[in-house]
Structure 1
Amino acid sequence: MSQHIRTRDGRCLHLIRRGSSEPVVVFESGIGANRGSWTLVEPQVQAATLVYDRAGLGRSTPDPGPRTVSRMTEDLLDLLAAAGIRRAVLVGHSLGGVVVRHVAHLRPELVAGLVLVDQVQEELPHYHEGKRFRLVSLGYRTGALIARTGLLKLLLRGRLHRDFPPEIAREITEEELSPGFLKAAAAEVRALPGGLAELPPLRLPQVPTTVISAGRTGPAEKRFRPVLIETHRAFAAALPHGRHVLAERADHLVPLQQPDLVAAEINRLL
């Protein structure tokens, strides 16, 4: 069921919910990504599910404020409250991993388990390099300007999301190549270092938690990927109910490249 809910400040967030049992598996996408991230994972989950679009991404309205982790966490908590969800398994990819851990820190009674998919580890210096993320943000903003001409859709339509069902591929691609989507993604990227710096130290999750690391090295990751994998492994080992899994056939885009593995780890927690 597709619907919109309102945040505490009146903005609309778009969600799609399937089933009504609890715990509900709730998906939080990576930076600059919408519900499409979970297209290949969600149908394999053996429970009720909820996917949604963060502010400005997909069918949700934009947010005029800074898109910090705290702001994203507030939106997710508003979403859970409006949807009447009292118990959830939270699944977060990349920056989404920090968001769902922040929810577990603030409202542990809501969280039955966590699946953290190649998550951001906020203590690593890599994620605090402001210049790097300003340049990436500039790339998104440039893309938004090009998108206004229609050139991006002309060049990329039919090339993205070839593994998706055709109707879903067209819908998600249309959204991702829109100026508004790219502008919202730029805002998320630009706010990342500052948003991580302002977070309080997050308590270690006390619920069953699976940490999935991408096993393949993506572009510009030659030095960083081994460090991230070891940090993920150490993080999982420090948890009372932690498990570390290596997605050997995927780079950072694990939900798109090894969706079966992600779904299997979610189903293990149900």
Structure 2
Amino acid sequence: MRSGAGATPVRRRSHLFAGVVLTVLLGLSTGHARAGAQGFVAETYGQPHQLVAVRGTRRLNLVCLGQGTPTVVFLSGLGSGTFDWRRVQPAVGRLTRACAYDRAGYGFSDPLDGPADADNARSDLHALLRATMPGRVILVGHSLGGLYATLYAEAYPKDLAGLVLVDPAFPGQTRAIARAVGPSAARKLAGWQAAQIAMQEECVVLARRGLLSTPAEAGSACLDNPANADSDVHRDINREAITAAYESAVESELRNANLADASGRTRDDLEAARTRASLGSLPVVVLTHGDGSGLPGLDAGQLAREAAAWKAGHDAIARLSSDGASIVVPQAGHFIQLDQPGIVIEQIARILAKARR
């Protein structure tokens, strides 16, 4: 999701903050699961499944449903978990094998020793796919996970049968949005973003001291407050959020995706520049939220320019492939997979059919 002068918010808090894509601070509630599905959510996403060793002894948690090829692999956004795919993954699992995973430090996966940045995310995913998924896969990435999926496709094009990006972050978005909204608005957004990073630093401190699990922190902005209607997801979010590994991973991803140098480029931007900028004829679909929401503190004209810059970034990703499409999804916020899951499923099925032909 978007935040700051080019960022993406973490989806769990009542006081939502930034992450990697000046994205939409709209309906970020997790209460989208259907009634009666809570037991499934808890069983599927509330416990470890396959713990896969990657790049040494570190393990990543992999959650798979269904059978068939090619496998569809889901990448969640900043601060999000595998449960963000609960309205999409089961349906895709009826078509083929569908897998979601926890990045390092998230959920049931071991933390990284180094920075949580694009290079490490890509290297971990490469090791995970090599260990568990022979043949080509379809990557489906949301928000910051969409940036990681795009960079993976550029680095390892032969590994993929297709790419579906759900309101993804993209390289250079910080500069693009800052230019679009103008200097005064860009400074305002940068200040807001700095406040979100400072808040995340405090979350890391509280988690390391073991304080997020105490009654005194019941209303902490570090946790999922107030409780979501989907109580199982609420518990899963907070089970993660009280850990230092999770809070530290979020803080590192937040910094590397959003803090820019003097030239306006982030660490992830610099790493993205080292990969090739073509996807050949790989089937690619980029979905953009269409509910009109945007960043805080902008007037109508600035919001329109911000939305245009966001869409232009998505159009540019689609143009990396001769078989690319950029689609606006009406009545959907940044979490298109929760607001309009049928459209995400439809696009995955379309690319799956192409791959099988």
**TM-score, shorter chain, exceeding 0.5:** yes
> CA 1:114/1:157 → structure 2, altered by over 3 Å: closer, same or farther?
closer
Q: Secondary structure at the match of 2:326?
A: strand
Aligned partners of 1:127 and 1:74: how far apart in 2? 28
Q: CA RMSD in A?
A: 2.7
CA distance in 2, matches of 1:134, 1:85: 42
Q: Give the equivalent residue in structure 1 for 2:278.
A: 204
Which of 303, 307, 317 aligns to 1:225? It is 307
The one-letter amino acid of 2:331's match is: R
Q: Which is further off, 147-156 or 178-187?
A: 147-156
Any stretches of 5+ residues in structure 1 without a counterpart?
Answer: none
Aligned to 2:318: 236
Identical positions, percent: 29
SS of the counterpart of 2:163?
strand
* Structure 1 residues 83 and 160: alpha-carbon distance in aligned structure 2, compared to 1, 3 A threshold: farther
Residues 25, 91 of structure 1: 8 Å contact kept: yes
TM-score by length of 2: 0.67
Rg comparison, structure with higher value: 2
The structural deviation recorded for 1:183 is: 2.0
Alignment partners' CA distance in 2, 1:260 and 1:175: 28
Which stretch shifts more, 183-192 or 38-47?
38-47
> In the superposition, relative to structure 1, how do residues 234 and 195 fare at CA in structure 2: closer, same or farther (>3 Å)?
closer
Q: CA deviation at 1:73?
A: 0.1
Structure 2 alignment gaps of length 5 or more: 1-43, 179-185, 258-265, 353-357
2:333 equivalent in structure 1: 251
CA 1:16–1:127: 2 relative to 1, 3 Å? farther
CA offset digits 1:109-148 (Å, max 9, x no partner): 210000011111213315899x666543322222344552
Q: Is 1:44 the counterpart of 2:118 in the alignment? A: no
Q: Which amino acid aligns with 1:194?
A: R
- Aligned in 2, Cα 1:39/1:172: closer, same or farther, shift over 3 Å? farther
Identify if the C-alpha distance between structure 1 residues 153 and 82 changes in structure 2 by more than 3 Å, giving closer, same or farther: farther
CA deviations over 1:73-126 (Å, ceiling 9, x no partner): 000011101113321110011121221122222222210000011111213315
- In structure 2, C-alpha distance between the alignment counterparts of 1:85 and 1:174, rounded to whole Å: 33
Q: Is the 8 A contact 2:224 2:237 kept in 1?
A: no
CA distance 1:173–1:263, shift in 2 (3 Å): farther
> Structure 1 length as normaliser, TM-score?
0.87
3-state SS of 2:331 partner = coil
SS in 1 for 2:112: coil
Q: What amino acid is the match of 1:268? A: R
1:267: Cα distance to partner? 1.3
